[in-house]
Amino acid sequence: MQNLAEQIASHNGWRFVLITLDDEGEDVFPLEAKDFPYLQDLESRLSKVDILIQSSLFEPAILFLWSILELLLRKKVVIENIPIERLPASNLLDHLYSRGEISMDQFDVFKDFLKLRNQITHGLMIPINSTCDMLTLAHQTVKALISDWKLEDSANLINK
């Protein structure tokens, strides 16, 4: 499928996006870049995650960090004009990885973090040691991704 996407992308202005019929509901409205906070605001939200971690409130920290990550991913697809902003987060990760927007390491961390987030969301018991380790790794990875995309945004503004 990636070969097909690359072939299509070789044509100026073309892009390949596979969307199935069940991906969007009837009540969905389009998101625009202006609907999202600035990347600096997301960094501010990350500092609140730090406070939760310092208070040993790991489950709320994981849920809040996930909301920041998901917002970041949705913002990226809207800015890049990829019409998948309403897909489930797992699909966003897959697509952003296939486009090279996130690295393999970031992809792996975020997929593992999604599993942890789902366990917490569904009330499952999770070992505290693995929770802390995963939370720390995901926090660092989200922070690095925000920094990378801020640099990318700055470079794009300079080149315009």
Q: Note the pLDDT tens digit of each residue in 67-117.
A: 999 999 999 988 888 877 777 889 999 999 999 999 999 999 999 999 999
| DSSP type of residue 22 | G
Nearest CA to 94 out of 108, 81, 80 is that of 108
Dist. CA 145–CA 128, nearest whole Å: 25
Q: Tell me how far apart the alpha carbons of residues 1 and 13 are, in angstroms, rounded to a whole number.
A: 19
Can you read off the two tokens belonging to residue 58?
A: 């790991």
C-alpha to C-alpha distance for 137 and 101, rounded to whole angstroms: 19
Q: Per residue in 42-77, pLDDT tens?
A: 999 999 999 999 999 999 999 999 999 999 999 998
Q: What angle do CA 152, 153, 158 make, to 5 degrees?
A: 95
State pLDDT tens for residues 134-155: 999 999 999 999 999 988 876 6
**Sign of the Cα pseudo-torsion (78, 81, 82, 87, in order):** positive
Q: Long-range contacts of range 149-158, CB-CB < 8 Å, 24 or more positions apart?
A: 149/39, 149/72, 149/76, 150/39, 150/40, 153/39
Q: What residue ranges define each of the domains in the chain, with the CATH number in brackets?
A: 40-159 (1.20.120)
Is the predicted pLDDT of residue 26 greater than 60, yes or no? no
